[in-house]
Structure 1
Amino acid sequence: MTGIDDVDYRILELLMDDARRSYRDIAEEVGRSPPTVSERVERLTEVGVIERFTLDVDRSRLVEGPTVLVDLAVQPGSEATVVEDLTDAPAVEHVIRTVDAAVVFVAHANERDVEELLSETLGDERVREYRVRLVSDRTWEPRLDEETLAIECVVCGKSVEGSDESVALGDRTYEVCCSSCASEIKDQYDALQQAASE
């Protein structure tokens, strides 16, 4: 089964509400058996809809310093490494990279600590300028939009809704929209396998 149906959608909602919820509890909510729920969660993980199960911690209660939003203007071409380096910094909570090469992050630090964090983590040569703003309140509520929810073909990006095409390669299953995309991803995989063995 490919695509996302109403049962998958409800499973995702329940897991987003509480990722520790048992498959038995979810099964009762969606009217399916626990093994069916387990299979659906596994499939959603294989196709990349579920990336990981994680814990949402209120870091403001664990670290010192006010919550701040920092806008960075970085040297062109350094955005990816800046994001990677900031992600590893203990005081940094969320890092966002925009299409116009800006980097924004949430941290727990005062303005003096932000300057030190940037200097130690990124060095002076990658940051052109930055702006620090105090955060008064924030909400992080991931939501699903049932109207636009669909799995995309890994080859061409079209929706696989209603398609029965999937390709098992190695330890992953890839959802594709048609037999042409299935052939293309198999060819790409075979070429990579051959290159790796040489």
Structure 2
Amino acid sequence: MNKAIHGAFRRDLDRFIEALAVSPAGDRARARQLTTAWANFDDQLTHHHEGEHEIAWPALLSVGVSAQLLEAMDAEHDTMAAALSETRAAMSALSGDPSAEQAATARSCFEQLRTVTVQHLDHEEAELEPVYQAKRDTPEIKAMGRAFGKTGMARGGRFFAWVLDGASPAERAAVTSEVPGPVLAIIGGIFGRGYRKDVAPVWAGSARR
């Protein structure tokens, strides 16, 4: 599941960079679309790394992961947060002035955000994914999973719609192996409507992927 979430982050970062490279100057409708997609991405990434600090790190510490490694992960989170803040400002500026200059600035911010985010995701997968696999049946890791699951129907539906939008077969299988099909259909089907209506169309069409 964690790698499927990481796949969604990588996918969206690529989408933004590609979209901003071809976004027509002065196209306010397209700028609004990208701003809508950005609001979702910003929320998902912020919620994810804050949740790791508050929920995942204590569980991992309890199963033997070193405090030094988790401190390094938090330092990477801080770097990501700074890049998020810069990108947030650039996207706000783009929504008010969809000029070629603002699009170029936003694209540059996204390139930096992608660099630091992918570095962190790669580091996390290399260091922590083996721990998740080895300790997945321990009480601590099971409790961690339950804690992450307590997000509410609205957030959960939007989350699953987002993770599965463009997911690879392996990523989709990772999600469905963790969440029963009927549960996923109800949560994602009902509470994922907002994502499918407002965000998924931003990426529709091969020219905008």
Tell me the TM-score range normalised by the shorter chain. Answer: under 0.3
Q: Comparing both chains, which one has the higher relative contact order based on Cα–Cα distances under 8 Å and sequence gaps of 6 or more?
A: 2
Structure with more strand by fraction: 1
Query: Structure 1 length as normaliser, TM-score?
Result: 0.26
